[in-house]
């Protein structure tokens, strides 16, 4: 058991934060715009993307029907975000599949369902205030893994983040780093078999546990069609007509290579 300076277990501290943390799927254009701005600010701080006029970062993968964009709040403040794609034979689409088709493609052909988390970003200074934030944010992926009865959870991450996934999830690197669309730095691909080590993971980090009711409330209430149909009328006044048009057709930020 890990103890902090005050003798409190790390797992207990995570559970305390859980009481203050809200997980919400960003459905409305306003909610998504807040996430896109959070992404832009985070990636600009790390010199991962190029500057753009509107100060947002999105791509066409955000609009796929198998996509869930999580906005994570602590004490009512948007603190981090992560995007999940559920890749399966029914929906064989997702960013990691396009970058690593030779690795992920065979899994889909075998009938596997994969959770593909990407776009993990945090507010400036959040990691200093909440060192536990990676655990709180990755909890969304663990909930998706359980809800969709997935075979594996992927991790398409930069080289410097690989150690976290190997240490916490016992993840397995699948190939050498590759160039990733719209990002300046190469990305590694790992496979997390959450199910195989589920008991070990939950014993060590009970923060990753969730109830069926919580998972159902998150994943069954979403209606992406509503968000897409309302985007033009709401985003226009926020960004201005010319920028809104670019926002909606995906040409505002770096275009997707597909």
Quote the pLDDT of residue 220. 82
77 is a domain residue: yes
Number of domains in the chain: 1
* Mean per-residue pLDDT, 73-99: 95
d(Cα 88, Cα 108) in Å, to the nearest integer?
6
The two structure tokens encoding residue 43: 């990636």
121 is a domain residue: yes
User: Which pTM value belongs to this model?
Assistant: 0.80
235 is a domain residue: yes
* Mean per-residue pLDDT, 147-169: 92
Tell me which residue of 62, 92, 82, 80 sits closest to 157, measured CA to CA.
Answer: 82
250 is a domain residue: no
Domain of residue 134, CATH code: 3.40.630.30
Quote the pLDDT of residue 198. 80
Q: What's the domain range around 25? A: 10-242
Percent of the chain residues topping a pLDDT of 90: 57
Contact 37, 26 (CB under 8 A): no
Give the residue, 62 or 184, on which the prediction is more confident.
Answer: 62
184 pLDDT above the threshold of 90: no
Contact 196, 171 (CB under 8 A): no
133 is a domain residue: yes
Would you mind telling me the total number of residues written for the chain in this entry?
258
253 is a domain residue: no
9 pLDDT above the threshold of 80: no
165 is a domain residue: yes
30 pLDDT above the threshold of 90: yes
Quote the pLDDT of residue 5. 39
160 is a domain residue: yes
Q: Where are the alpha helices (DSSP H) in 59-177?
A: 95-99, 101-109, 126-129, 133-147, 162-169
Quote the pLDDT of residue 199. 82
Which of the four pLDDT bands, split at 50, 70 and 90, describes residue 231?
Answer: low
């Amino acid at each position: 058991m890990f103890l902090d300076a005050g003798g409190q277990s790390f797992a207990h501290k995570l559970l305390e934060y859980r009481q203050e943390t809200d997980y919400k799927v960003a459905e409305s254009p306003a909610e998504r715009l807040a996430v896109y701005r959070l992404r832009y600010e985070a990636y600009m701080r790390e010199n991962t993307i190029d500057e753009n006029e509107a100060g947002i970062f999105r791509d066409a993968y955000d609009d796929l029907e198998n996509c869930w964009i999580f906005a994570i709040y602590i004490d009512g403040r948007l603190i981090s975000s992560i995007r999940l794609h559920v890749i399966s034979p029914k929906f064989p689409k997702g960013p990691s599949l396009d970058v690593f088709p030779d690795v992920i493609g065979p899994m889909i052909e075998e009938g596997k369902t994969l959770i593909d988390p990407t776009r993990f970003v945090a507010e400036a200074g959040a990691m200093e205030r909440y060192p536990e934030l990676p655990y709180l944010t990755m909890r969304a992926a663990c909930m998706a893994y359980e809800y969709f009865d997935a075979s594996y959870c992927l991790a398409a991450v930069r080289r410097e983040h690989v150690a976290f996934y190997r240490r916490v999830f016992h993840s397995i690197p699948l190939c050498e780093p590759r160039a990733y669309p719209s990002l300046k730095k190469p990305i590694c691909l790992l496979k997390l078999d959450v199910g195989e080590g589920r008991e070990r993971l939950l014993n060590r980090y009970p923060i990753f546990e969730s109830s069926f009711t919580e998972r159902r409330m998150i994943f069954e209430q979403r209606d992406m069609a509503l968000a897409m149909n309302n985007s033009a009328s709401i985003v226009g006044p926020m960004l201005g007509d010319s920028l809104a048009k670019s926002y909606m057709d995906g040409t505002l930020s770096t275009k997707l290579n597909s």
